[in-house]
Amino acid sequence: MWTPGEQQFYAFTLIDVVMAELPEHWRVGILYDIGYQIHRSALKWDLLPQWMPRIIFAISVFHAYSHQWVCQLWYHPQKGDVWGLTDGEGCEHLWSDLQRLIPNLHVSGYHHRLFILDLQIEHLDDVKLSQAGIWLERCVKSMMEHLFLAQQKRSAIIYSDEYLQAQFEEQRAYQS
């Protein structure tokens, strides 16, 4: 990117190139800080019509709470049925791991910068892979705790799942 800000044409180009390489039966979830804007623009201007039926848009959890309620109803990943408990902050975690390199790479040449970033990302891959078992165990324990709490809260609610889902859909329709 050569300009500041999040230009939508970059996102549309990336989506088009990636979708062209994927099998036709795949559905693709796109978690992006401005995912709702990308989705609305795609619908309004009929962009990427061949891919839209296969794409599910969402915004990261961090950004979801700064958006209006109607946006959260449609784009919050934990209000959908495909995202699970993901927070959508994977890229932010990577940039957090790389941020200490910024001052030194700012004054280096283009190829040197790419070389150092490549080495650092390879190192991070090795470190994370060696700790994958510990990470997975922590995730499973956290998921089990979430499941237990959710089951406790759900058992205290007198309404059926179907009724609650219908109420959620009605709220989406009303707010939209």
Evaluate whether residue 100 is within a structural domain.
no
Q: Give the pLDDT confidence score for residue 85 in this predicted structure.
A: 80
**With bands split at pLDDT 50, 70 and 90, how would you rate the model's confidence at 5?**
low
* Range of the structural domain that residue 45 is part of: 1-88
Alpha carbon distance 150, 165 (integer Å): 16
> Which residues have CB under 8 Å from 69's CB, separation 6+?
175
Q: CB-based contacts of 72: which residues, under 8 Å, 6+ apart?
A: 64, 65, 79
Q: Is residue 104 part of a domain?
A: no
62: phi then psi, degrees, rounded to nearest 5: -55, -45
Cα–Cα distance, 136 to 141 (Å, whole number): 9
The number of domains in the chain is: 1
Average pLDDT value for residue range 156-161: 96
Which pTM does this prediction carry?
0.75
Q: What is the pLDDT of residue 69?
A: 84
What the block records as the tokens of 170 is: 């009605």
Q: What value, to the nearest 5°, has the Cα angle with vertex 45 and ends 174 and 11? A: 95
- Asked, for residue 53, whether it belongs to a domain, the answer is yes
Residue 130 lies in a domain: no
68 in a structural domain: yes
